[in-house]
Amino acid sequence: MPRRRKSFWDIFDEFFEDIFENLDKEFRDWMRRIERMEELAEEFGERRVYGPYVYGFSITIGPDGKPIIKEFGNVRRIAGRPKISEEREPLVDVIEDKDTITVVAEVPGVNKEDIDVKIKGRTLVISAASGDRKYYKEVELPADVKPETAKANYRNGVLEVKIKKVKEEAEEGFKIRVE
């Protein structure tokens, strides 16, 4: 059987295959550690109920052609170890155009009255709590914004926040008329 020549696209296949294998291995390691912690707690009579475990990731290709991996859920790595949090980190997308920044966050299972959205400088803070569903995320915005222009909309578990950007002055500066 003749050997197939490698094509340019084979590089991407191998690259993404490695990423998925590494993420799968890391997640399995986390789960083994969590199960071992639960076994030890049970041995010493300290049984705590954790869960549900929520972990996911999204991979997109950035403008520079490099992959961007975003994790979400309530399983986080702190100092190389898994930590289960009560609050879930929602999956968030930031879309920037000429005049506005749009932040889209997935926060299912809560009512719009349970959602709190704040702007602190260049950071958008999203928090929500309803029953056993708790979400928290701080999103760094790519540009300065006018907080008073922010509008939030929540429908079908998806929160969308639109904020107008602060217009930058032209590099020449502001021309002052001499009288």
**Residue extents of the structural domains in the chain:** 1-86, 90-168
Tell me: the pLDDT tens digits for 100-114?
A: 999 999 999 999 999
Q: Average pLDDT, whole number, for the chain?
A: 82
Instruction: Say what the pTM is.
Output: 0.62
Q: Is residue 66 classed exposed, middle or buried when 0-12, 13-18 and 19+ CB atoms within 10 A define those classes?
A: exposed
Strands of the sheet containing 92-96, edge to edge, are: 92-96, 100-106, 158-164, 151-155
Coil, strand or helix: which one is 25? helix
- For domain 90-168, the question of CATH label 2.60.40.790 is answered with yes
Compute CA distances 105 → 12, 133, 151, whole Å.
29, 15, 14
Section 56-74 average pLDDT: 82
Identify the band that residue 79 occupies on the pLDDT scale cut at 50, 70 and 90. Answer: confident
Identify the band that residue 48 occupies on the pLDDT scale cut at 50, 70 and 90. Answer: low
